[in-house]
Amino acid sequence: MSSTTRWIARAAALVVCATLLLPLPASAHDALIESTPAAGAQVGAGDEGAVSFRFNNDVLATAAFIAVLDPQGADVSSADVVIAGDTVSRTYTPSTAGTYTASYRVTSSDGHPIEGSITFTHEGRPDTESAAPDASDRGESDENAARDDQSTSSGGDGSAVMLGIAAALVLTLLVLGVVRRIRRGRSTS
């Protein structure tokens, strides 16, 4: 093996090793762990009107949003959103019996937005009669109770890793091209 070939092999090995040793960003993002009430839960008329969402890491205090909508779609949220480490919460004032939707949007510890919603059934305010929901509410309640938490987040798909591999291959090809040019220049002299 000539010295030039050995040099090329060493350069290629160095590029591959350097690429493998580069720190890569984690592809896992923060996620919702639990909600109170849970998705599809039944909340009694005497229960406190509050929702909370707990995540696997602390939530950034820069922006957090929770909205609670009653069966008619009216926002019944009250007070401000409270952020306590990995949990965000907000109170609401129940208006009528039926299916409520609690939506959230927070900024996770890694800076990515996380959003989603849950539905739960509330029996109404304790100071009013709990009328049975009409047929449309019952159908919606059955459908929503069967649905799991719809938490979504923008997740990594490994594109950073693929980009690093592609860059290493391009760099290796460039080094090989330069070495060949140098060899051709020496052989013609």
Same domain, 146 and 171: no
Let me know whether 100 and 47 are in one domain: yes
> Each residue of 155-177: b (16+ CB within 10 Å) or e?
eeeeeeeeeeeeebeebbeebee
pLDDT tens digits for range 138-189: 444 444 433 333 333 334 445 555 667 777 777 778 787 777 778 777 776 6
Nearest to 137 by CA among 74, 72, 42: 72
Specify the number of domains making up the chain: 2
Q: Answer whether residue 26 shows pLDDT above 60.
A: no
Q: In this structure, are 112 and 184 located in the same domain?
A: no
Angle between helices 159-188 and 3-21 (to 10 degrees): 160
Residue 117 bridge partners (DSSP): 103
Residues 102 and 37 in one domain: yes
pLDDT digits over 62-112, tens only?
778 999 999 999 999 998 999 999 999 999 999 899 999 999 999 988 888
Same domain assignment for residues 39 and 62: yes
In terms of domains, do 71 and 149 share one?
Answer: yes
Same domain, 101 and 170: no
**Does residue 143 share a domain with residue 73?**
yes
Q: What six digits make up the tokens of 128?
A: 């009013």
User: What's residue 189's pLDDT?
Assistant: 61
Q: Which CATH number do you get for residue 81?
A: 2.60.40.1220
Q: Do the beta carbons of residue 65 and residue 56 sit within 8 Å?
A: no
- Answer yes or no: is pLDDT of 137 > 50: no
Residues 78 and 169 in one domain: no
> What are the φ and ψ backbone dihedral angles of 90, each rounded to 5 degrees?
-160, 145
34 vs 176, higher pLDDT: 34
Domain that holds residue 161: 3-26+157-188
pLDDT of 24 reads 55
36 & 60 share domain: yes
Same domain, 75 and 113: yes
Pair (55, 142) in one structural domain: yes
